[in-house]
Amino acid sequence: MGIINVTPDSFSGDGLLGDVGAAVELARRFEAEGADILDIGGESSRPEAAELDPHAELARVLPALRAVREATALPLSIDTYHASVAQAALEAGADAVNDIHGLRHDAAIATVVADSGCALLAMHNQRGRPHRDVAADIAAGFAETLRLARVAGIEMGRIILDPGFGFGWAPEQNLEMLRRLPELWSLELPLLVGTSRKSTLGFVTGAPVGERLEATAATVALSIAGGADVVRVHEVAEMARAAKVADAVVRANWRQNL
């Protein structure tokens, strides 16, 4: 999954606010480099970022999403937790909703997803929640998201779960999360992991945000080894190669890549 941020304040410094041409160029480059899905977002999810008004969010994402939809046939996800933004983005050509609150912030978003028949990428967000045990906290969050999905009528086969690396965890807990990914296999749903450029990698390596390529690659490979089916990244070409090698080991499918 290639990240396309149309924000002015992305933690990673890659925001493309208002530059629709740059978003299209990035989408085409990501497709050429091996992306399988593109994730378009208009609100920064960095810690302590203010919640964006849905109208302002729509003004950011819709022009870019429409232009990217015309430029590529790749599946597009809209990174939002607002039902109104999700609805408008789906009408503009998005194929999936990527909700960093796992249906737990805006109750109406579950209905939007159910009615549209789109895919749901649902994160467990630990921010503001008490900590007990990393894997148990994630499992409890997933259980509530899946409950809300069932109530809304969202088919389980359309859901991908994200344990929320970097969302309310200390660095040590983020690292523990990667070690314990296999404990989430019992849900029998695909897993998405997003570690790209995040502060935990800087905590470990001492590298600033623009110099975390190798650290990201390490966590991408470890995530796949732990069972991740989707990895959300800023550098598609390099991470696609890392994923191919990890898949060759974990899934023994290297011949399919020749």
Q: How far is the C-alpha of 32 from the C-alpha of 114, rounded, in Å?
A: 32
Q: pLDDT digit string (tens) for 62-115?
A: 999 999 999 999 999 999 999 999 999 999 999 999 999 999 999 999 999 999
Category of 76 on φ-ψ map: left (φ > 0), alpha (ψ -120 to 50) or beta: beta
Residues 135-184 have pLDDT tens digits of: 999 999 999 999 999 999 999 999 999 999 999 999 999 999 999 999 99
- Mean pLDDT of the region 24-36: 97
**CATH number (domain holding residue 31):** 3.20.20.20
Residue 97 CA to its chain's centroid (Å): 10
Q: Tokens at residue 122, please? A: 């649902």
Annotation marks residue 232 as catalytic: yes
The pLDDT value given to residue 44: 79
Exposure string of 10-36, with b = 16+ CB inside 10 Å and e = fewer, is: bbbebbbeeeeeebbebbeebbeeebe
pTM of structure: 0.92
Burial tier of 101 (Cβ tally within 10 Å: 0-12, 13-18, 19+): buried
Residue with the two structure tokens 């992306």: 35
Alpha helices in the chain (DSSP H): 20-33, 54-71, 83-91, 108-116, 134-152, 171-179, 199-205, 213-225, 236-250
Determine which one of 60, 104, 212, 232 is catalytic: 232
Q: Which of 60, 104, 197, 198 is labelled catalytic?
A: 198
Helix axes 213-225, 171-179, angle to 10 degrees: 40
**Over the stretch 206-224, which tens digit does the pLDDT of each residue have?**
999 999 999 999 999 999 9
Structural domains counted in the chain? 1
Name which residue leads in pLDDT, 15 or 194. Answer: 194
User: Is residue 244 annotated as a catalytic residue, yes or no?
Assistant: no
Pairing assessment for the beta strands 230-231 and 2-5 based on DSSP bridges: unpaired
The parent domain of residue 103 ranges over 2-257
